[in-house]
Structure 1
Amino acid sequence: MNKETNHTHDSLPQYPESYWRDSVELPIFPRLNENKKADAVIVGGGIAGITTAYLLVKEGLSVILLEASTILNGTTGHTTAKITAQHDVIYDELINKVGLENARLYYQANMDAIHFIKQTIQDHSIDCGYSEQDAYLYTNSEEGLTKLKKEAEAYKKLGIQGEEVEKMPLDVPLKGSLVMKNQAKFHPLQYLATLVKYILEHGGSIYEHTTAEDVEKVNVVDKKVTTADQHEIVCSHVVSCSHFPFHDGLGFYFARMYAERSYVLAYKTDNDFPEGMYLSVDTPQRSVRTTPLADGQKLVIIGGGSHKTGQGICTIEYYEALQEFAEKKFGLRNISYRWSAQDLITTDKIPYIGKLSGGSEHIYVATGFRKWGMSQGTLSALLLRDIILKRENQYEKLYSPTRFDLATDGKNLAVQNADVAKHLIAGKLEIVREKAENLAHGQGGVVSVNGKRAGAYRDEEGELYVVDTTCTHMGCEVEWNEGERSWDCPCHGSRFSYTGDVMEGPAKKSLARLQTNTNNIDNVDNEILS
């Protein structure tokens, strides 16, 4: 099933594809085409949304889950699938920023999520390659060693089961390593497919290609969710588990989070590759884990190359850097898959989970998982279930979306929004001379159309797609992402397909299409459609 033909860029697979998506057949769900009523509407078909739906259905609530695309095709379907509380070198930082007790709560919440996943797999006898693993942070630099020693001290203060070790199973140059015990890995889509089945068997409903556009108050109890197709669902509770909340509620989440992309290569191997999960603390970071394949081989999953969405070098170069690392360090050469993911990071690096900002009653949000969605998405569901059912939960205050620390959040907010302003201005002042007619098959980029900036892509058959590059969210100019064949916004992380359709929010409207269906174009400037 993997795609190992038609490679470009030194044997990279021509098109990105996730192993998790390619190795599982998921059910297809209809588009919502009528008005509905339910106890709860959940927006977003990733691990957070599906697990929340599963838990609420188990509590006897009627649930409708809406997905703008197809379920498990976002970050959950493009993860490295580590189930861990070892979220890089986070605990020393948390102790200094939010205090010892809150840092301990952060660890406990993620460990609760790990235990929940393990118990759910046992309860449903899910065959998903679940395996308990040691998780390692490692470094080959003096700066990294200092970080690890501080993190090791934080482990001791928090009672985390882990320690500094001189050696680890993975054979890489090493000055130091820090292990966290009793973590895990699995096949996320095999796991979540079982939860989807449970939801359906117990009265829940799932609709794909259904975009939730807004929510408004009907009465003291009820809310009304309106879709892009103008269908309505009346409900008591609304849960936004999409990346950016589809309903902001004056929380200004687009200004309080930023988007990062990261990259993955996967290699089949017959070699005795070591178990364990690994993450370097040096720059550029590298993540390594394996997953078993049905034929007895292993798939080695190597990730890294993070950068702000729409910013950085040509995205293909991130894949090529991973390729060089895999070959030099492990002798891996035959790439089976490549894919990338987008994650949101909050100003204080702790997710926003709970009641939506702005006093919106019975509207909830889960976002900002900072690349650790397997544990954070699961703990989101556990916390949201308790909030909805009015049960006490010790983690509610820590993850509250309404929290704001002027010293920490205010500084980070200023930095992020200065970066937005810089890219907004730079995009407007850019001088573009490239013409659409010069693009080769399979090539895209920013072009000049009637003296104005536009975006063009010519597919493998020669058909040309031209779009307005002004992001429909707040007017920044999008950039071409060669690795994923998409238009990415450097300001708030919105992404659009080469045809202009929304792939990632916070944008809700597609890019304006300027010209299509022209195979033999001599001068696109004269044929542009307005």
Structure 2
Amino acid sequence: MNETNSKPAAAFPQFPESYWLASAQIPAYSRLNENIRVDAAIVGAGITGLTTAYLLAMKGLKVAVLNAGRILHGTTGYTTAKITAQHDLIYDQYITDFGEEKARLYYEANRDALQFVRHLVKEHHIQCQFEEQDAFVYTDTDSSLHKVFKEYEAYEKLRIPGSYVEKTDLPFETKGAVVMKNQAQYNPVPFLIHLAEEIVRKGGRIYEETTVTGYEPGSPSVLKTSGGFTVSSSHVVSASHFPFNNLHGLYFVRLYAERSYVLAVKTDKRYLGGMYISADKPKRSLRSVLINGEPMVIVGGEGHKTGQGICTFQYYEALEKFARETFGVKEIAYRWSAQDLYTLDTIPYIGQELDDVPNLYVATGYKKWGMSTGIAAAQLNAKLILGEDSPYRDLFSPSRFHANPSIKTFVKENANVAKELISGKLEFPTREAGELREDEGAVVQVRGKRAGAYRDREGSLHVVDTTCTHLGCEVDWNESERTWDCPCHGSRFAYTGEVIEGPALKPLAKVELDE
């Protein structure tokens, strides 16, 4: 990212905040403060971790969920919250790459996940704004029309309930759209709070502020935690976004991270329903939401590789421009951003990680569609732990490797990492830490070396070493989120240096300024 100090329009909330997290009282849980023994230990308390624990607890297993921070405050709390098997234009490509059978299985796994949410919401009367909606991938350009129509033909081959339309209810002309019928949207936080409460009611345990720092395979396996306590478990599930055990699977060379942005907007024009995503770039995602009883529109998009974008306020500004031109903007109530991981072939890694470690399971790589694939992951891993068969085991197997497109993606992504590693080392900043104004951060020079500095709103200066503690790339300043982001493998750090997202496990080193 460049160091241009581009501030947002006055209409933006000053700090990012997810509406989902702001909308509910999330229960608090204690740190782990003793050694425990359980049947299944789940690392991560987002949609995958809590759903996995819920499914196993309902079957009578003794479960423990370990989370490095507050529950739901990872990617799950920053989603657009569409529950759908329509993950952009994918099915025509999946038929080409993997064949009709596996493409159909991918659809069915996500369809089953939606049905799980639908059933639970109805059975337990969960108040989470669950609404049935049709999902659309649309284009307003002639150049993408053939791709959209080929996707519709893939739906027909795979027997996916859908249709092709030229016109939509959007307030601008579209050339065509492929529709997936009877999908849904909701607020994930009340839904997952319900699952957490059920886990505890069934005797399960949830621990916050408990970081896993070590893993010893065996029967049982042992997890070491930041507080010095251990969890012995017959089964271990890594549901922590980036796998906590990444050295076993070398996931940092098999995954890459992207960020995307969201505005919750009160509009002039009425939104007529449906969930939309554009076939063209930059991506535009749309859905409705009720905020304090008022109808608003969630506008998302502007994805880019973590740490490699322009000044991040400009992504919010691009979404605001689109919203103003499309609907008119009365108010921007919330803004937030999210990070998600992509696999080499774009199908998530879910299931038993290694043949010689049969009780370790992984779930990652949802490519921004975790509301369905996160639950599909929980359903698959729960079945494997319970000794049940699943038709989705081979499709999502973490040990798979497809020559096409995996090799091409592997070469491309690792060439990109090498470029970012070299360019970061060659950059020589000219700014000094003392030049920074309040609420300003930048890469600076300290004693002839690269460092990162942020002056907070109270005037205190925070200076860190910009060398990522994962593999040594140089992090860059994310102005709109006040974080340090790694352009190589997506690690993110608070301005004080603490790890926000892996694969890094250690904080950035502090840098002391001369008196």
TM-score (norm 2): 0.97
Q: How does 1:16-31 map to 2 (within 5 A)?
A: 16-31=16-31
Per the alignment, residue 277 of structure 1 pairs with 275
Percent identical = 54
Look up the equivalent residue of 1:488 and give its one-letter code.
D
Within the candidate set 479, 500, 507, 1:510 is matched to 507
Shift of 1:460: 0.8
Match of 2:354 among 352, 357, 371: 357
Deviation of the 1:180 alpha carbon: 0.7
Q: How does 1:4-83 map to 2 (within 5 A)?
A: 8-83=8-83
Partner of 2:372: 375
What residue identity is the alignment partner of 1:55? L
Give the structure 2 partner of residue 245 of structure 1.
243
Deviation at 1:359, TM superposition (A): 2.9
For 1:94 and 1:420, locate their aligned partners in 2 and report how far apart those are by CA, in whole Å.
26
Instruction: State whether residues 249 and 360 of structure 1, in contact with CA within 8 Å, keep that contact through their aligned partners in structure 2.
Output: no
**Following superposition of structure 1 onto structure 2, how do residues 279-428 of structure 1 map, counting pairs within 5 Å?**
279-295=277-293, 297-357=294-354, 359-428=356-425
Q: Which amino acid aligns with 2:101?
A: E
Pairing 1:468–2:465 present = yes
Contact 1:166 1:177 in 2 (8 A): yes
Residue matched to 1:133: 133
Equivalent position amino acid for 1:229 in 2: G
- Secondary structure in 2 aligned to 1:440? coil
Deviation at 1:54, TM superposition (A): 0.3
Contact 1:270 1:298 in 2 (8 A): no
1:436 and 2:433 matched: yes
Pair 418,40 (structure 1): closer, same or farther in 2 beyond 3 Å: same
Structure 2 equivalent of residue 185 of structure 1: 185
Between the aligned partners of 1:509 and 1:17, the Cα distance in structure 2 is 26
Deviation at 1:426, TM superposition (A): 0.4
Q: What corresponds to 2:490 in structure 1? A: 493
Counterpart residue identity of residue 384, structure 2: I
Question: Which string of whole-angstrom CA distances, capped at 9 and with x for unpartnered residues, describes residues 419-455 of structure 1?
Answer: 0000000000101111000001000010000000000
CA-based RMSD of the aligned residues comes to: 1.2
Cα distance in 1 for residues equivalent to 2:316 and 2:411:
32
Q: Is the 8 A contact 2:8 2:313 kept in 1?
A: no
Q: Which amino acid aligns with 1:362?
A: N
Match of residue 454, structure 1, among 410, 434, 451 = 451
Matched residue, 1:3: none
Question: Offset of 1:273 from its aligned partner?
Answer: 1.7
Runs of 4+ in structure 1 over 4 Å off: none
Match of 1:196 in 2: 196
CA deviation after TM superposition for structure 1 residue 123, in Å? 1.9
Cα distance between partner residues in 1 of 2:8 and 2:82: 29
For 2:395 and 2:192, how far apart are their aligned partners in 1? 27
The residue that corresponds to 2:4 in the other structure is: none
Asked whether the 8 Å contact 2:267–2:327 carries over to 1, the reply is no
Q: Does the residue aligned with 1:353 lie in a helix, a strand or coil?
A: strand
Range that drifts further, 110-119 or 352-361: 352-361
Query: 461-470 or 270-279, which moves further after superposition?
Result: 270-279
SS at 1:334's partner residue? strand
What count of residue pairs does the alignment treat as equivalent?
509
Aligned residue for 1:361, secondary structure, equals strand
Q: Is the 8 A contact 1:261 1:306 kept in 2?
A: yes
Partner of 1:89: 89
Over residues 78-122 of structure 1, what are the superposed CA-to-partner deviations in whole Å (9 max), with x where a residue is unaligned? 000000000000001100101110000000110011111101112
Residue equivalent to 2:255: 257
Mapped partners of 2:172, 2:355: distance in 1 = 49
| Larger CA deviation: 267-276 vs 504-513 | 267-276
Worse-matched range after superposition: 169-178 or 274-283: 169-178
SS in structure 1 at match of 2:473: coil
Higher mean Cα deviation, 398-407 or 341-350? 398-407
Please tell me whether the aligned partners of residues 213 and 247 of structure 1 are also in contact (alpha carbons under 8 angstroms).
no
| C-alpha deviation, 1:142, in angstroms | 1.8
**SS of alignment partner, residue 368 of structure 2:** coil
What is the aligned partner in structure 1 of residue 100 from structure 2? Answer: 100
Distance in 2 between residues matched to 1:105 and 1:331, nearest whole Å: 41
Does the 8 Å contact 2:267/2:328 carry over to 1?
no
- Distance, in Å, in 1 between the alignment partners of 2:485 and 2:101 is 39
Letter in 2 for 1:155: Y
Q: Deviations over 1:165-193 (max 9, x none)?
A: 02112212311111110100011001111
The residue identity in structure 1 corresponding to 2:511 is L
What letter is aligned with 1:247? N
- Report the 3-state secondary structure (helix = DSSP H, G, I; strand = E; otherwise coil) of the residue aligned with 1:446: strand
Opposite residue 51 of structure 2, the aligned amino acid is T
TM-score by length of 1: 0.94
The one-character-per-residue Cα deviations of 1:248-273 (angstroms, maximum 9, x if unpaired) are 25311110010000000001357532
Partner AA of 2:98 in structure 1: V
1:139 is displaced (CA, Å) by: 0.6
- AA in 2 matched with 1:462: G
Deviation at 1:412, TM superposition (A): 1.0
- CA separation in 2, counterparts of 1:216 and 1:261? 32
User: What corresponds to 1:171 in structure 2?
Assistant: 171
Displacement of 1:243 in angstroms is 1.3
- Alignment partners' CA distance in 1, 2:73 and 2:350: 22
Residue by residue over 1:304-324, the C-alpha shift from the partner in whole angstroms, topping out at 9 and shown as x without a partner, is: 000000001111000000000
**Separation in 2, partners of 1:208, 1:108:** 33
2:3 maps to which residue?
none
Structure 1: 5+ residue runs without aligned partners? 1-6, 516-523
Contact 1:479–1:487, Cα closer than 8 Å, also in 2: yes
| Contact 1:222–1:235 under 8 Å retained in 2 | yes
Letter in 1 for 2:416: D
Amino acid at match of 2:502: G
> In the alignment, what sits opposite 1:232?
230
C-alpha spacing 1:348/1:8, structure 2 compared with 1 (3 Å): closer
Deviation readout 1:326-369 (Å, 9 max, x if unpaired): 00110014110000000000010000000113632200000000
1 CA distance for matches of 2:22 and 2:52? 25
**How far does residue 299 in structure 1 lie from its aligned partner after superposition?**
2.2
Q: 3-state DSSP class of the match of 1:275? A: coil
1:492 is paired with a residue whose SS is coil
| Paired residue secondary structure (2:329) | coil
Which structure 2 segments of 5+ residues have no match? 1-6
CA distance in 2, matches of 1:188, 1:270: 27
**Distance change >3 Å, CA 511–CA 144, structure 1 → 2:** same
Q: CA deviation at 1:215?
A: 1.4
Q: For 1:116 and 1:8, locate their aligned partners in 2 and report how far apart those are by CA, in whole Å.
A: 40
